[in-house]
Amino acid sequence: MPSANIIQLRQLLAERFPGLRTRADELSGARHAAWPTGLAQLDEPLRGGLPKGALVEVVAEQRVSGSALMMTALIHRALGENKFVAVIDGQDSLDVTHLGEDLSRLLWVRCRSTDEALKAADLLLRDGNLPLVLLDLVSNPAAQLRKIPATTWYRFQRLMEQTSAVCVVMTPRVMVAPAQVRVTLRSRFSLSALEREPQELLRELKMEISEARRFGDELESKSA
Amino acid sequence: MFAVIFIPNFSLQSVLRHEPESRGKAVALVDPGMPKPAIVQLTSAARVQGVCEGLTASQATARCAELIIKPRSRAQEESATEVLLQTAYAFSPNIESTAAGVCTMELKGLGLEARGETVDQWAGKIIEVLGQFYLEAKVGFGATPELALLAARSANPILTLQSEQRKNDSAAAIVESFPVSSLEPSPEILEILQRWGICTIGELLALGKDNLAERLGPAAVELFHRVSPDSPRPLKLIAPAEEFSEQMEFEHEIETTEPLLFALRRFTEQLSRRLELIYLVVAEFHLQLGLASGAKYEHVFKIPAPTGKIAILFRMLQTHLETVRADSPITSLRLAARPAKPEAQQFGLFESTLRDPNQFAETLARLTAFIGSENVGTPQLIPSYKPDSFRMTVPEFENSSRQRETKAGRSENSIGLQLRRFRPPLASHIEFREGKPALLRNQVFTGPIVEMRGPFFSSGNWWDSGRWAREEWDVETSDGSLFRIFRSPDGCFVGGVYD
């Protein structure tokens, strides 16, 4: 139990510096609201969906693991709910012709390098206007991804905490240390998948979900 | 009863309006339009140093080394006149643009007494508002417009020549003490009166109207009418132009953004305050930069959520100007605002709109600045069978209808896994055996193709120069990757990878 002086000091700091995070805030245990994705294997383990105001990392380590399929599903879901969506396309690879006719609520940022994508993400997260921000780095060269300083993700996490947006970072390997939720895609589709319905494929997506109870904790794994 | 707002040294104040820090310094205004350019107006600090009207710039600087010489600017006088009239119009609907820096207002029907407000308090508010626009004004009240003007010229900063019968005597005494030059007689008449030793209006009136008319003609009668409380002339009423602009011609050519932003900040403040005075906000800015080459750079800023907040408006201009490159220096600046009524918006529980459209517009401008307008926006599909056909459009999220039915959803031809496209398609070497792709070699993968679907033929635009044709396959390579490959007249390519 902290002493009265410590409590007083924390209150004083909170008044003087409203943006300051203190350990007391983290221990409050208040969980952010969630955004249901419509993917049962994601929403059920996460008790409602992707957490708002936190980073979510989707790791696609294997080829043909369904990361583009999942991203498209998230975009559809958000557009279907009349939400604004920003897609920061790290390697200008999004196939928009299969996203539907009305894309008037989609902001597509076509980047050519990881640096550009990170700067764009920084601007959009600071803006705080868009409820869903997707940062796709799956196709970016490994050499560029290795150069991302770890502090970048912590900065993004801090920005996210001030919003109620959902930010999904799609990566080819684990790299977003402060992610509240990490989804590792374990599927491996074959050529026959091209003839099947996307909904059917989405139901078959295998995911390993790790969730931190609170910021700074180790992620706990669950499989779905 | 009439009121006159009088701005002394109007031309000089117009020029110094955007440099208020110079008002306490020795500054003189030279009119370059005169046959022999000379000082026409000057600050009191310059007068103390011995500078006076009529001197040439070199004569004046000989008397005062620190003297700042400014050229007269018609454009800035126009802007100051707009400010004066719009301010006056905010206080009375009956206004007259009497002369440069002089605005006459009629007090009839304003109901100041009913509001429990004295004319001094009312005039104090006018002076305060004009002070926000860096214009020092004097206000005079009188029974006629001429008397009010006389009062305004002698005010410090407010003077009332009472019109009530019981105070007529004291009003007449004040008027009679004014110098005869305040009636603005013609130079010839003024010279004659001075030779006669007539210095004040009282001395002029003592000569008698008929005697004076006999010797000096109808012009002298006009002087009598100006001080008569019984002959008010009707005002030539005007409505101020609904144009809100600020402009400036730079003495020195501008090559960097700092001085430009400094001036723009002032302009934004002024325009925002002018609109605030009439309960409006800025809906659109029209920026015009005059270049030394004679060309003009123009840009229209549509404010997504009309606002009067200076910081937001200025940031929008600043973000844009950071990306502007002109081929020659800037010589003039003009910023015009289109007003709109402030919108009161209440967010619904299930509506999704941008929380801060202006912030989003700025973010978009920043994104566009470093990634390029062709790479930021909303995709719009082109009705064509040509693969990857779309165009980028400027997002208009703030205009997005809140209640519309969404059409977003999977398109009919969407089936299977999604493609991650290579833009441009990746040039590859594809080895064909019996007409079928068997081996793939490119930067991404080199190896055998183990399974495939296709070929799928497509072509289009055969009627114009954009003719295209391709033969496509979906292939699975030995490492388990799924590619879309195609053969066209230009060669073999990988269009993307399925994921």
Read off the pLDDT of residues B223-234 as tens digits, 9 standing for 90 and up: 887 777 776 788
pTM over 0.90: no
- Check whether residue A111 and residue A100 sit in a common domain: yes
CATH code for position B305 = 3.30.1490.100
B267 lies in some domain: yes
**Residues near A58 by beta carbon (within 8 Å), at least 6 away in sequence:** A67, A70, A71, A168, A169, A170, A171, A182, A183, A184, A185
Question: Are the CB atoms for B280 and B108 separated by under 8 Å?
Answer: no
pLDDT for the residue B172? 67
- Check whether residue A22 and residue A39 sit in a common domain: no
- Check whether residue B484 and residue B431 sit in a common domain: yes
- Check whether residue B250 and residue B316 sit in a common domain: yes
Measured in degrees and rounded to the nearest 5, phi and psi for residue A119 equal -65, -45
Q: Which of A7-16, A123-132, B192-201, B438-447 has the lowest mean pLDDT?
A: A7-16
- Check whether residue B424 and residue B483 sit in a common domain: yes
Number of domains in chain A: 2
The C-alpha atoms of residue B240 and residue B89 are separated, in whole angstroms, by 7
Measured in degrees and rounded to the nearest 5, phi and psi for residue A97 equal -70, -15
**Residue A28 pLDDT class (50, 70, 90 cuts):** very low
Question: Is residue B261 classed as helix, strand or coil in its secondary structure?
Answer: helix
Question: Is residue B7 classed as helix, strand or coil in its secondary structure?
Answer: coil
Question: Are the CB atoms for B125 and B118 separated by under 8 Å?
Answer: no
Sole residue written with tokens 């109007």: B10
Q: Which of A10-14, B228-232, B437-441 has the lowest mean pLDDT?
A: B228-232
- Check whether residue A172 and residue A219 sit in a common domain: yes
Could you give the count of Cα atoms lying within 13 Å of B76 in the half-sphere of its Cβ? 25
Q: How far is B281 from chain A (nearest CA, A)?
A: 22
Q: Which of B66, B106, B407 is nearest to B238 (CA)?
A: B106
Full residue range of the structural domain in which residue A186 is found: 31-223
Direct distance between the N- and C-terminal alpha carbons of chain A, in angstroms, rounded to an integer: 39
Measured in degrees and rounded to the nearest 5, phi and psi for residue B213 equal -65, -35
Scored b (16 or more CB within 10 A) or e, B10-20 reads bbbbbbbbbbe
Residue-wise pLDDT tens digits, B117-141: 888 899 999 999 999 899 999 999 9
Strand order across the beta sheet in which B95-99 lies: B95-99, B102-106, B2-6, B138-142, B158-160
- Check whether residue A35 and residue A21 sit in a common domain: no
Pairing of strands B27-30, A220-223: unpaired
- Check whether residue A15 and residue A51 sit in a common domain: no
B487 lies in some domain: yes
The C-alpha atoms of residue A77 and residue A108 are separated, in whole angstroms, by 16
Would you call B411 and A120 a contact, using CB atoms and an 8 Å cutoff? Answer: no
Burial (Cβ within 10 Å: 0-12, 13-18, ≥19) of residue B464: exposed
Burial (Cβ within 10 Å: 0-12, 13-18, ≥19) of residue B381: middle
Beta strands in chain A (DSSP E): 34-35, 50-51, 54-59, 85-89, 106-110, 132-136, 166-171, 181-185, 207-211, 220-223
The pLDDT > 90 percentage for chain B reads 18
The C-alpha atoms of residue A221 and residue A146 are separated, in whole angstroms, by 24
Question: Are the CB atoms for B417 and A64 separated by under 8 Å?
Answer: yes
Measured in degrees and rounded to the nearest 5, phi and psi for residue A108 equal -110, 120
Q: How far is A1 from chain B (nearest CA, A)?
A: 40
B411 lies in some domain: no
- Check whether residue B480 and residue B360 sit in a common domain: no
pLDDT for the residue B126? 93
The C-alpha atoms of residue B23 and residue B7 are separated, in whole angstroms, by 14
B63 lies in some domain: no
Full residue range of the structural domain in which residue B370 is found: 242-345+353-400
A contact test, residue of B351, B415, B418, B458 with most A CBs within 10 A: B418
Residue B248: pLDDT above 90? no
- Check whether residue A127 and residue A109 sit in a common domain: yes
Q: How far is B483 from chain A (nearest CA, A)?
A: 9
- Mean pLDDT across B356-374: 85
Q: Which of B417, B423, B476 faces A92 most closely, judged by CB atoms? A: B423
Which of A38-42, B5-9, B432-436 is most confident? Answer: B5-9
Q: How far is B348 from chain A (nearest CA, A)?
A: 13
pLDDT for the residue A102? 80
The C-alpha atoms of residue B371 and residue B396 are separated, in whole angstroms, by 19
The C-alpha atoms of residue A180 and residue A58 are separated, in whole angstroms, by 11
**Residue A18 pLDDT class (50, 70, 90 cuts):** low
Report the complex ipTM. 0.81
B468 lies in some domain: yes
- Check whether residue A19 and residue A79 sit in a common domain: no
pLDDT for the residue B467? 85
A124, closest residue in chain B (CA to CA): B363
Question: Is residue A1 classed as helix, strand or coil in its secondary structure?
Answer: coil
What residues of B are in contact with residue A65 (Cβ under 8 Å)? 499
Count Cβ atoms below 10 Å from residue B339 Cβ, excluding itself. 20
pLDDT for the residue B466? 80
DSSP state of B462: T
Direct distance between the N- and C-terminal alpha carbons of chain B, in angstroms, rounded to an integer: 83
**Residue A27 pLDDT class (50, 70, 90 cuts):** very low
Burial (Cβ within 10 Å: 0-12, 13-18, ≥19) of residue B425: buried
- Check whether residue B429 and residue B395 sit in a common domain: no
- Check whether residue A48 and residue A19 sit in a common domain: no
Work out the mean pLDDT of chain A and round it to a whole number. 83
- Check whether residue B360 and residue B270 sit in a common domain: yes
pLDDT for the residue B26? 92
What residues of A are in contact with residue B481 (Cβ under 8 Å)? 63-64
B488 lies in some domain: yes
- Check whether residue B371 and residue B302 sit in a common domain: yes
**Number of CB pairs, chain A paired with chain B, less than 8 A apart:** 201
Would you call B421 and A190 a contact, using CB atoms and an 8 Å cutoff? Answer: no
- Check whether residue B314 and residue B423 sit in a common domain: no
Write the DSSP string, B356-420. Answer: -HHHHHHHHHHHHHHH-GGGEEEEEE-S-SSTT-EEEE---GGG--SSPPP-BS--TT--SSPEE
Question: Is residue B206 classed as helix, strand or coil in its secondary structure?
Answer: helix
Residue A134: pLDDT above 90? yes
Residues forming beta bridges with residue A94, ordered by sequence position:
B420
- Check whether residue B254 and residue B393 sit in a common domain: yes
**Residues near B414 by beta carbon (within 8 Å), at least 6 away in sequence:** A98, A198
Structural tokens at position A7: 């409590």
pLDDT for the residue B373? 84
Strand order across the beta sheet in which B68-71 lies: B39-42, B27-30, B68-71
- Check whether residue B327 and residue B473 sit in a common domain: no
Q: How far is B474 from chain A (nearest CA, A)?
A: 8
User: For residue B357, is the peptide bond before it cis, meaning its omega torsion is within 30 degrees of 0?
Assistant: no
Would you call A76 and B409 a contact, using CB atoms and an 8 Å cutoff? Answer: yes
Residue A117: pLDDT above 90? yes
Residue A32: pLDDT above 70? no
- Check whether residue A93 and residue A51 sit in a common domain: yes
- Check whether residue A38 and residue A59 sit in a common domain: yes
Would you call A93 and B356 a contact, using CB atoms and an 8 Å cutoff? Answer: no
Would you call A94 and B421 a contact, using CB atoms and an 8 Å cutoff? Answer: yes
pLDDT for the residue A116? 92
- Check whether residue A64 and residue A24 sit in a common domain: no
Would you call A110 and B418 a contact, using CB atoms and an 8 Å cutoff? Answer: no
B28 lies in some domain: no
Q: Which of A81, A95, A126 faces B421 most closely, judged by CB atoms? A: A95
Would you call B408 and A196 a contact, using CB atoms and an 8 Å cutoff? Answer: no
Number of domains in chain B: 2
CATH code for position A189 = 3.40.50.300
B367 lies in some domain: yes
- Check whether residue B296 and residue B357 sit in a common domain: yes
Residue-wise pLDDT tens digits, A173-208: 999 888 889 999 888 888 888 888 888 888 888 888
The C-alpha atoms of residue A69 and residue B350 are separated, in whole angstroms, by 28
Would you call A109 and B376 a contact, using CB atoms and an 8 Å cutoff? Answer: yes
Q: Which of B355, B360, B379 faces A106 most closely, judged by CB atoms? A: B379
Q: How far is A78 from chain B (nearest CA, A)?
A: 9
Structural tokens at position A30: 């208040």
- Mean pLDDT across B316-328: 85
- Check whether residue B284 and residue B334 sit in a common domain: yes
- Check whether residue A6 and residue A36 sit in a common domain: no
Write the DSSP string, B16-85. Answer: HTT-GGGTTS-EEEE-TTSSS--EEEE-HHHHHTT--TT--HHHHHHH-TTPEEEE--HHHHHHHHHHHH
Q: Which of A79, A96, A138 faces B390 most closely, judged by CB atoms? A: A96
pLDDT for the residue B414? 61
Would you call B381 and A65 a contact, using CB atoms and an 8 Å cutoff? Answer: no
